Amino acid sequence: MGQGRARTTVPTLNRSPKVDIGSHTIPVLSVSPTQSDHTILERLLPEPQWSVSRARGVVSALTLLLQLRPVPVVLWEDFRPGAWRDLLVHTALLPDPPSIVVASRLADDRLWAEALNLGAYDVLAKPFEVAELTRTLRLAWLHSQHQRVASDVAPRIAKAFTA
């Protein structure tokens, strides 16, 4: 046979519990004033595939997001109900807004509907199921990557159609 192109695997958003992200390390920001919340995520998301950073609140999270973007953010709802709303409002102003995942032991239909309607990527119930946690964060990271590419390409596409 002749020379062929190298085969590439393109990640797909399907119902499979595994999402192929290649050899990338996925950065995750854990936002909570509680040390144990961060420790739980670090234990469930081992290196080298995951890199978990810590923020104690919304202000420190915003500071870190300026350095780590794009990054999925796990915001622990239990420490201050509604803090995810504050983070969504502030991160919407960033050039590459993160995918916010709200984590709560009280994750019910009301929280899920409200969070998604206001722009959160997803809501996860605590305690975490490892497969659901990793799948959701992989998809959130891919979503952030796709949004970033789309925002980089959109002006060039618009220019091509107006030229």
Span 83-100, pLDDT tens digits: 888 888 998 888 788 899
User: 49 in a domain, yes or no?
Assistant: yes
**Residue 144: domain span:** 26-162
User: 21 in a domain, yes or no?
Assistant: no
Q: What is the pLDDT of residue 152?
A: 60
Mean pLDDT of 14-21: 43
- In the chain the beta strands, taken as DSSP E runs, fall at 26-31, 50-55, 72-76, 99-104, 122-125
Higher pLDDT, 48 or 77: 48
The Cα–Cα gap between 153 and 16 comes to 29
The Cα–Cα gap between 1 and 56 comes to 58
Instruction: Provide the token pair at 96.
Output: 């590459």
Which strands, in side-by-side order, build the sheet including 26-31? 50-55, 26-31, 72-76, 99-104, 122-125
User: 48 in a domain, yes or no?
Assistant: yes
User: 18 in a domain, yes or no?
Assistant: no
User: 9 in a domain, yes or no?
Assistant: no
User: 13 in a domain, yes or no?
Assistant: no
How many independent structural domains does the chain possess?
1
User: 20 in a domain, yes or no?
Assistant: no
Higher pLDDT, 84 or 78: 84
- Say whether pTM exceeds 0.85: no
Q: What's the CATH number where 77 sits?
A: 3.40.50.2300
pLDDT higher than 60, residue 18: no
User: 141 in a domain, yes or no?
Assistant: yes
